[in-house]
Chain A
Amino acid sequence: MKGGGGGGVSVPGKRRWRGLVIGVLFLVILSMLVPLAFLLGVHNGFHSPNPDGYVPVQHSSVSNGGKDRSTISDADIDPKNDRSHHINDIVTKLAPKFSKVHCIMLLGMLAWHCHALLVYHGLTQPAPWIAQLGHKWAVLPGFHQICNMLGVVSLDVLTKFTNGTENQTTDRNAVHSSQHKKGTSVEPHALLQPPPNTSGTNNVAKVEGTEYVKGGIDENENCELKFGSYCLWRKEHREDMKDSMVKKLKDQLFVARAYYPSIAKLPSQSKLTRELRQNIQELERVLSESATDPDLPPEINHTWLFKFCDCIHCMAEWSTLSRHIKLIFNGMIGKKSQKMEAAIVKAKSFPVDCNNVDKKLRQIFDLTEDEANFHMKQSAFLYQLAVQTMPKSLHCLSMKLTVEYFKSTALDMEPSQANKYSNPLLHHYVIFSNNVLASSVVINSTVMHSEESKSQVFHVLTDEQNYFAMKLWFFRNSFKEATVQVLNIEKFSLDYHDKATLSHMLLPVEFRVSFHNFDDSSTQDRTQYLSIFSDVHYLLPEIFPSLKKVVVLDDDIVVQKDLSALWNLDMGGKVNGAVQFCSVTLGLLKSYMGENNFDKKICAWMSGLNILDLARWRELDLTKSYRKLAREVSVGEESIEAAALRASLLTFQDLIYALDGVWALSGLGHNYGLDIQTIKKAAVLHYNGNMKPWLDLGIPRYKRHWKKFLNQEDQFLSECNIHP
């Protein structure tokens, strides 16, 4: 391809001319075709057997303005190829509108594709479909060459420069200077149309300035719900972006690029064109010089980041992350910025073809938005993954405890006060959990705030897989004078159910419901996480036959007050003391409730902190009614969780004793907007939601209320690198 271009431009004296030739050379045809081919899904047909065939045509279209356009289709594309023919038609149709401005415009698009190509090639950890996308672009003929010409270094060359941080700047300079030596004056054109990674607020758009920010915030709120603590991390990085200098600079570049094509079209303004071009180049260079990013994870930093940062366009984008940028910019940019500003002011004073500016911006916007959506999807996938998998450190802890348990079988792990387990005069707490750390925090926080830990008995109910680890953990750790018993629920439940159906509902689950909130005028769907009783909860009267009352705690809570008052409540014949959740009524949940009769106004309640009157429970034989409801013909394709939610809500619909709201505050696992004072006042904090405090994704602001009840000195914790 290059050879072809060189054919027309080898005379040294015609440098500027050469720029035009090369520019138009690929622009007119390739630029035109690539996006079109893309749109029409015919990029395979783009494989011309003789790429050099483009050259003469391109040449003529430049020199003769519009006269030769009709020849484009005949000369360069093999008419035998149906697909090419199709493109021919399109080209011919569009030809009359084609001008140099369009060329440059389309070159912009191409540059963007180039940039995308590099990004996707360099990206070492994409989801598979990113990569496929990347490869589709890679096969487009001539793409590498175009990239070369644009001053975007091709992949092959790039790899040479993927060195350490220290060498980065010099390497990049080397690339630039080598291009200058070759005399490819097409570079300026390329620089005019980089991808949409520049902008900001400045004098030109003061009003809109506030608007961007607003848009950002809206997005933010949405993100918080979806992406957890990442948002906070993100905000920190956002600060960098707000650096006024960087913004101003980027905005200037943006404006300049928008004006450039139109100004360049005016033959009388060649001087201004040059001025603009030089300024753009200069700023591009400055932006690109500061692109090291110490904040990124090392792996990324040294594999693909550098690779694609050699691509000047990406430079500007990544550099905004960098802290270095402030230092560099503040020091050296002042002057350049002023020059640029002057050039823009001049440019603005000429009448320009509005349509072109508008069109170009539109394209930039479209492409950028597309890319954003794509990354959005990727993030959503990864977020789900982070929620559903287990941190390596927790895996380690469970394994260590299990191995240790078996190695120390000689020890008698039954404590001496086993008789306390069934003493109905004591305060019995039941915790369902498969998480050593979580249940430990629940017990520790309860004990720390109780006046009399001696009378407290904790029953940790876990599954077989975690039983041994739990057993050892609670043998090793003591909690003031409280007693802890670890029970394997699979031992109990086997008698009642077959294992297959049960395994899913051994431990309490969280049920995520989305619904329209009618009280609120907002039309947004709201999501709530309702934690519900598992099947095993309904075995409690049988597991603890001698007990009359128990308090059931979920493992994602932290206790902040003395709970003993719960034991003196007169529940007036009700069975289940729970904090009601009146923003969710049964009426709102009607899609989950099936055809049963129920009072729509009844508030939903949650598991988390519940006081159960087991004596009354047995009297009413609620277990039986629950089982009957749970077995009921399910509504369509509903999950077992949905069936359990319905059965639980219906079983207790008239038997809930509403605890005062201050007893429990929920939402610490999904709601970013909770008030610190409210958190401090609540007796129990409930981390319902995806962002559990023991996960990396936990909401940092709420994490510490949980963390402080963890004995971080523990040898096992430090050996497994657990620093929540």
Chain B
Amino acid sequence: MKGMESTLYKASRVFPDCPVMATKLRAMAYNAEELVRLQKNQASYLTQLAARTTPKGLHCLAMQLTAEYFSLQPEERQFPNQQKLHHPNLYHYVVFSDNIMACAVVVNSTVSSAMEPAKIVFHVVTDSLNFPAISMWFLFNPPGKATIQVQSLDNFKWFSTKYDSTLKKHNTEDPRFTSALNHLRFYLPDVFPALNKVVLLDHDVVVQSDLSGLWSVDMKGKVNGAVETCKVNEASFRRMDMFINFSDPLVAKRFDVNACTWAFGMNLFNLRQWRRRNLTSVYHKYLQLGYKKPLWKAGSLPLGWITFYKQTVALDRRWQLLGLGYDSGITRRDIERAAVIHYNGVMKPWLDIGISKYKGYWGRHVKYDHPFLQRCNIHD
């Protein structure tokens, strides 16, 4: 840079023909600018690409655990304490995930920061592909005194009939949006018929303090307890019409564009109210409607907003801190005092593109000394 500067300076002395010099410089500036533009596009293209890949270590881990699982005798594949699974008075946490490490961190962090881990029941739901590996992981690493259950999506016969029939017809390219695991959250009362209240945790969160206080939150008869995202000057700000097409009269009539939005990540669901209001069929209705014309963007969030419209109660903001997967400007203080931190965005902590200064909060719940992780070259 400096070299160039001085060279240019000299040049301008020696070569006083101003217009020529100016055009020359202009040409150079043009080139540099063009370069900037291209590089930017390139970087964003590659970031998207990087988000679509699996680190080799994670792949290796999944493959190894799968092989290991099948070497077990069927009776060795059972988890202990299964009588607790349907006990409505315990703290039931639900995680939908296809990622072993992510899942392990959610479970591990919740249990290790809980005051009464024995009262915790984890329900991990995954797909048939990852079921053996995730089961094997938790057979190897039981979550202390807490109880755990691992289920495969494919065992829910009702789900495939209800959901696939509508979804299969509308195959979009991006698996993120069609992922059945992602939409299973709208069937919680069907997945857990015996339970009245559950906390749904996304697999890209880390729990940092005891969550038992959540269970005594007054939900005011609402179905969904969530952290709101309608503060205008915050990075997490979302407005209804960012994902929902309010130019459609049907939408505009039913919903208020200024209604407060909220986030997934950590949600408290009152399943009893949910069943009473039959919200799953509401969801279904909107899902179908959305196939007919473009009413909202793909993904579970806009559907969540409309399904739980007027059925959501705000949780204190300290329960969940958002943005660790895209916003690199979050302060340490905010992170440390949040009960749950959410790595929403493409820069997941288990990917190389993850924001390095946040990786530690996630990484401290990973058992890097585990032989499987070492064999797969997964390091801190």
Q: Do A and B come from one complex?
A: yes
B37 located at the interface, meaning its Cβ lies under 8 Å from any Cβ of chain A in the complex = yes
Interface contact A125-B326, CB-CB below 8 Å: yes
B130 located at the interface, meaning its Cβ lies under 8 Å from any Cβ of chain A in the complex = yes
Q: How many residues of B contact A (CB 8 A)?
A: 83
Interface contact B34-A696, CB-CB below 8 Å: no
Interface contact B22-A382, CB-CB below 8 Å: no
Residue interface bits B6-40, CB-to-A below 8 A is 1, else 0: 00110010001011011111111111111111111
Give CA–CA (A469, B167) in the complex, Å. 29
Most central of B29, B32, B58 by chain A CB within 10 Å: B29
Interface contact A403-B34, CB-CB below 8 Å: no
Interface contact A396-B232, CB-CB below 8 Å: no
Interface contact B42-A164, CB-CB below 8 Å: no
Give CA–CA (A128, B326) in the complex, Å. 10
* Chain-B contact segment, one of A65-73, A193-201, A608-616, A675-683: A193-201
Residue interface bits A103-134, CB-to-B below 8 A is 1, else 0: 00000000000000000010011111011101
B193 located at the interface, meaning its Cβ lies under 8 Å from any Cβ of chain A in the complex = no
Main secondary structure, interface of B, reads: helix
Interface contact A219-B35, CB-CB below 8 Å: yes
Interface contact B25-A362, CB-CB below 8 Å: yes
List, in ascending order, chain B residues with CB within 8 A of A594's CB: none
List, in ascending order, chain A residues with CB within 8 A of B58's CB: 395
List, in ascending order, chain A residues with CB within 8 A of B232's CB: 156, 159-160
Interface contact A361-B22, CB-CB below 8 Å: yes
* Chain-A contact segment, one of B49-57, B276-284, B312-320: B49-57
Give CA–CA (A604, B127) in the complex, Å. 49
Report the minimal beta-carbon distance from A405 to chain B, rounded to whole angstroms: 8
A662 located at the interface, meaning its Cβ lies under 8 Å from any Cβ of chain B in the complex = no
Interface contact A379-B42, CB-CB below 8 Å: yes
Interface contact B22-A358, CB-CB below 8 Å: yes
Residue interface bits A129-170, CB-to-B below 8 A is 1, else 0: 011101100100000000000000001100110111011000
List, in ascending order, chain B residues with CB within 8 A of A514's CB: none
List, in ascending order, chain B residues with CB within 8 A of A258's CB: 22, 26
* Chain-A contact segment, one of B64-72, B81-89, B104-112, B206-214: B64-72
Interface contact B329-A134, CB-CB below 8 Å: yes
Given the known interface contacts A241-B34, A389-B352, the answer about A125 and B64 at a Cβ–Cβ threshold of 8 Å is no
* Chain-B contact segment, one of A275-283, A291-299, A556-564: A291-299
Interface contact A299-B346, CB-CB below 8 Å: yes
A369 in complex: contacting residue of B1, B12, B18, B27, CB < 8 Å:
B1
List, in ascending order, chain A residues with CB within 8 A of B130's CB: 399
Interface contact B353-A237, CB-CB below 8 Å: no
Given the known interface contacts A358-B18, A369-B1, the answer about A320 and B37 at a Cβ–Cβ threshold of 8 Å is yes
List, in ascending order, chain B residues with CB within 8 A of A369's CB: 1, 4, 32, 35
Interface contact B40-A357, CB-CB below 8 Å: no
List, in ascending order, chain A residues with CB within 8 A of B233's CB: 155-156, 159
* Chain-B contact segment, one of A4-12, A203-211, A634-642: A203-211
Report the minimal beta-carbon distance from A688 to chain B, rounded to whole angstroms: 20
Most central of B297, B328, B357 by chain A CB within 10 Å: B328
Interface contact A396-B36, CB-CB below 8 Å: no
B4 in complex: contacting residue of A124, A156, A366, A399, CB < 8 Å:
A366
A237 nearest CB neighbor, chain B only: B41
A465 in complex: contacting residue of B22, B33, B49, B63, CB < 8 Å:
B63
Report the minimal beta-carbon distance from B352 to chain A, rounded to whole angstroms: 5
A368 nearest CB neighbor, chain B only: B32
A400 located at the interface, meaning its Cβ lies under 8 Å from any Cβ of chain B in the complex = yes
Report the minimal beta-carbon distance from B355 to chain A, rounded to whole angstroms: 5
B272 located at the interface, meaning its Cβ lies under 8 Å from any Cβ of chain A in the complex = no
Interface contact B54-A389, CB-CB below 8 Å: yes
List, in ascending order, chain B residues with CB within 8 A of A121's CB: 329
Give CA–CA (A227, B35) in the complex, Å. 14
Given the known interface contacts A361-B22, A372-B32, A382-B49, the answer about A403 and B239 at a Cβ–Cβ threshold of 8 Å is no
List, in ascending order, chain B residues with CB within 8 A of A321's CB: 37, 41
B62 located at the interface, meaning its Cβ lies under 8 Å from any Cβ of chain A in the complex = yes
Report the minimal beta-carbon distance from A202 to chain B, rounded to whole angstroms: 10
Give CA–CA (A579, B64) in the complex, Å. 38
List, in ascending order, chain A residues with CB within 8 A of B32's CB: 196, 365, 368-369, 372
List, in ascending order, chain A residues with CB within 8 A of B46's CB: 230, 379, 382-383, 385-386
A42 located at the interface, meaning its Cβ lies under 8 Å from any Cβ of chain B in the complex = no
B23 nearest CB neighbor, chain A only: A205
Given the known interface contacts A127-B353, A128-B328, A379-B46, the answer about A388 and B67 at a Cβ–Cβ threshold of 8 Å is no
A233 located at the interface, meaning its Cβ lies under 8 Å from any Cβ of chain B in the complex = yes
Interface contact A132-B63, CB-CB below 8 Å: no
Interface contact B241-A365, CB-CB below 8 Å: no
B37 in complex: contacting residue of A317, A354, A390, CB < 8 Å:
A317
Interface contact A389-B22, CB-CB below 8 Å: no
Interface contact A392-B1, CB-CB below 8 Å: no
Given the known interface contacts A216-B34, A402-B66, the answer about A208 and B24 at a Cβ–Cβ threshold of 8 Å is yes
Report the minimal beta-carbon distance from B348 to chain A, rounded to whole angstroms: 11
Give CA–CA (A643, B175) in the complex, Å. 43
Given the known interface contacts A125-B44, A159-B237, the answer about A131 and B329 at a Cβ–Cβ threshold of 8 Å is yes
List, in ascending order, chain A residues with CB within 8 A of B27's CB: 205, 208-209, 211-212, 215
B162 located at the interface, meaning its Cβ lies under 8 Å from any Cβ of chain A in the complex = no
List, in ascending order, chain A residues with CB within 8 A of B352's CB: 385, 389
A406 located at the interface, meaning its Cβ lies under 8 Å from any Cβ of chain B in the complex = yes
List, in ascending order, chain A residues with CB within 8 A of B225's CB: none
Interface contact B54-A135, CB-CB below 8 Å: no
Given the known interface contacts A196-B32, A205-B23, A366-B5, the answer about A296 and B44 at a Cβ–Cβ threshold of 8 Å is yes
Within 8 A of A (CB), among B333-380: 345-347, 352-353, 355-357
Main secondary structure, interface of A, reads: helix
Q: How many residues of A contact B (CB 8 A)?
A: 101
Give CA–CA (A376, B41) in the complex, Å. 11
A254 nearest CB neighbor, chain B only: B26
B47 located at the interface, meaning its Cβ lies under 8 Å from any Cβ of chain A in the complex = yes
List, in ascending order, chain B residues with CB within 8 A of A398's CB: 59, 63
B165 located at the interface, meaning its Cβ lies under 8 Å from any Cβ of chain A in the complex = no
Interface contact A403-B132, CB-CB below 8 Å: yes
List, in ascending order, chain A residues with CB within 8 A of B4's CB: 365-366, 369
Interface contact A696-B63, CB-CB below 8 Å: no
List, in ascending order, chain B residues with CB within 8 A of A392's CB: 52-54, 175
List, in ascending order, chain A residues with CB within 8 A of B37's CB: 197, 317, 320-321
A247 nearest CB neighbor, chain B only: B30
List, in ascending order, chain B residues with CB within 8 A of A624's CB: none
List, in ascending order, chain A residues with CB within 8 A of B66's CB: 399, 402-403, 406
A119 nearest CB neighbor, chain B only: B40
Report the minimal beta-carbon distance from A273 to chain B, rounded to whole angstroms: 19
Interface contact A391-B29, CB-CB below 8 Å: no
List, in ascending order, chain B residues with CB within 8 A of A63's CB: none
List, in ascending order, chain A residues with CB within 8 A of B141's CB: none
A389 nearest CB neighbor, chain B only: B53
Report the minimal beta-carbon distance from B256 to chain A, rounded to whole angstroms: 15
Within 8 A of B (CB), among A249-307: 254-255, 258, 296-300, 302-303
Give CA–CA (A128, B30) in the complex, Å. 28
B177 nearest CB neighbor, chain A only: A298
Interface contact A395-B29, CB-CB below 8 Å: no
Interface contact A399-B22, CB-CB below 8 Å: no
B352 nearest CB neighbor, chain A only: A385
B128 located at the interface, meaning its Cβ lies under 8 Å from any Cβ of chain A in the complex = yes
Report the minimal beta-carbon distance from B49 to chain A, rounded to whole angstroms: 5
B contact residues vs A (CB 8 Å cutoff)? 1, 4-5, 8-9, 12, 16, 18-19, 21-50, 52-56, 58-60, 62-64, 66-67, 69-70, 128-133, 175, 232-234, 237, 239, 241-242, 245, 247, 297, 326-329, 345-347, 352-353, 355-357
Starting from the known contacts A234-B38, A389-B53, A406-B132, 5 additional A-B residue pairs (CB-CB under 8 Å) come to A125-B326, A167-B241, A196-B32, A297-B45, A372-B33
14 contacts between A and B (CB under 8 A): A130-B328, A160-B232, A162-B239, A164-B242, A207-B23, A215-B27, A216-B31, A230-B46, A355-B12, A371-B36, A386-B53, A395-B62, A399-B66, A403-B129
* Ranked 9 nearest A-B pairs via Cβ: A131-B328, A375-B39, A354-B18, A382-B46, A389-B53, A406-B70, A361-B25, A199-B30, A368-B32
